[in-house]
Amino acid sequence: MKVAMILGTPGTGWGGMEKHTAELAAALSTLGHEIHVLAHESYRPRFAEDLTFHPVPINLGRRNPWLRHRIRRILEQIAPDVAHAQGSKAADILGRLRLPANCQTVGTLHGSKSTDAPFRRLDKVIAVSQSLYDNLSHPHRFLVFNGTEWSGDRSLPPGFWPPNWSSGHLNAIAAGRLEPVKGFESLILAWQNVLERFPTAHLTIFGEGSQKDRLGSLIRERALTSAITLAGARGSLSGAYGLADLTVISSEREGFPYVLVEALLEQCPVVSTPVSGCTELLPPKAIARDHSHPALAECIVSAFSSLEELRAQEQKAFVFARANLTARAMAEATLEAYLAA
């Protein structure tokens, strides 16, 4: 099967949608399919070399005639069996193009939107979480969870951990783009409350983003420099999840967070704010009652107080992850959606 994927993000960052597209493309290629990727030039190094990469100026507005012309011409040259839009911008563009009748159009919805209108012109829609799927009005909708490459290798390069990480104390990790939607400011405030119960607990936050300086200032203002470390982006965190006592997701909203996927694959207990994906897979004990920092602190303290109990309660999620949240499982489920009548 020949598949053309259109990644509708502007090339300024690398998050869940971009990771999903790269890993799905690589997994489909491994399964023997011809994969083409249309994306911003800056993403080229992120995609496997055995794929065909087509740079497009996706940073332009979705109604820009040159952008639409460029994508249409590339699709005409490829003549794919499936044109697959990642995200609402790509779906909007794809749905307005005149393509041959034998080219199936598919879109993946990665997060909650006020409307699914951009996807209604497509033949099929895939949602990455149950809640997103339930809110779709499209008659041909499919549920395909995010998945990632997983080998079980927990090795870490020398110097990976920050100096104040200690195996003798409780250690939690959080990861993601340092942007407001990830809720790291709330997590830092929550950690101050956590320390009242567990004074030596340590939090390591992995990631880069526009809030890095603001979060660093907040940590210093609250005198939390020995308790919280901003560790920057570190590539694969498989080994980190394997050694941490707890993973914390503090997001204000999510589609289906990759942090959840990666932590569950490594069988690291997870607590979270009430966001899509987490509310579907985690037990009630692992979900904060709301998005406030006191509620998040309460959830973390409860987890630290009974880690083995939480681990036992999340065992079902660990098993589910290794069966359903790998890149291969994601690719196979996506193929089923392509082939469905």
**pLDDT tens string 125-151:** 999 999 999 999 999 999 999 999 887
Span of 156-170, 210-224, 241-255, 292-306 with lowest mean pLDDT: 156-170
Q: What is the pTM of this model?
A: 0.90
Angle at 38 between CA 32 and CA 44, to 5 degrees: 85
Establish if 158 belongs to a structural domain. no
Say how many CA atoms lie within 13 Å of 99 toward its Cβ. 29
pLDDT tens by residue, 75-89: 999 999 999 999 999
Residues 287 and 331 in one domain: no
Predicted pLDDT at 175: 96
Establish if 198 belongs to a structural domain. yes
Establish if 71 belongs to a structural domain. yes
Percent of the chain with pLDDT strictly greater than 70: 95
At 15, the pLDDT band (50, 70, 90 cuts) reads confident
Establish if 245 belongs to a structural domain. yes
Cα 28–chain centre separation: 18
Residues 94 and 210 in one domain: no
Establish if 160 belongs to a structural domain. no
Q: 314 pLDDT exceeds 80?
A: yes
Residues 313 and 334 in one domain: no
Q: 16 lies in which domain range?
A: 2-149+326-339
Query: Sign of torsion, CA 156 161 287 301?
Result: positive
Q: 164 pLDDT exceeds 70?
A: no
Q: 159 pLDDT exceeds 70?
A: no
- Neighbour tally for 102: CB within 10 Å: 8
At 13, the pLDDT band (50, 70, 90 cuts) reads confident
Position 153, amino acid? D
Residues 73 and 52 in one domain: yes
Establish if 159 belongs to a structural domain. no
| Both structure tokens of 297 | 């602190």
Cα–Cα nearest to 58, from 7, 103, 102: 7
Residues 33 and 137 in one domain: yes
Strands annotated E in 185-340: 202-206, 228-232, 246-249, 270-272
Contacts of residue 110, Cβ cutoff 8 Å, sequence gap at least 6: 16, 17, 20, 86, 87, 128, 255, 256
Number of domain units in the chain = 2
Predicted pLDDT at 166: 65
Residues 177 and 55 in one domain: no
Predicted pLDDT at 309: 97
Q: 14 pLDDT exceeds 90?
A: no
Mean pLDDT of 191-218: 96
- Mean of pLDDT over the chain: 93
| Both structure tokens of 183 | 């809720």
Residues 70 and 141 in one domain: yes
Residues 105 and 186 in one domain: no
Q: 204 pLDDT exceeds 80?
A: yes
Residues 133 and 185 in one domain: no
CATH number at residue 22: 3.40.50.2000
Residues 175 and 141 in one domain: no
Query: Nearest 5°: phi and psi at 56?
Result: -135, 150
CA distance readout (Å), 148 to 21, 23, 219, 264 = 11, 7, 32, 11
Establish if 136 belongs to a structural domain. yes
Predicted pLDDT at 236: 78
What is the helix, strand, coil percentage profile of the chain, to 5? 40, 15, 40
Residues 143 and 101 in one domain: yes
Establish if 17 belongs to a structural domain. yes
> How, if at all, do strands 2-7 and 82-86 pair?
parallel
Residues 183 and 307 in one domain: yes
Q: 157 pLDDT exceeds 70?
A: no
Predicted pLDDT at 243: 86
Cα–Cα nearest to 229, from 183, 167, 178, 163: 163
| Both structure tokens of 170 | 């409780």
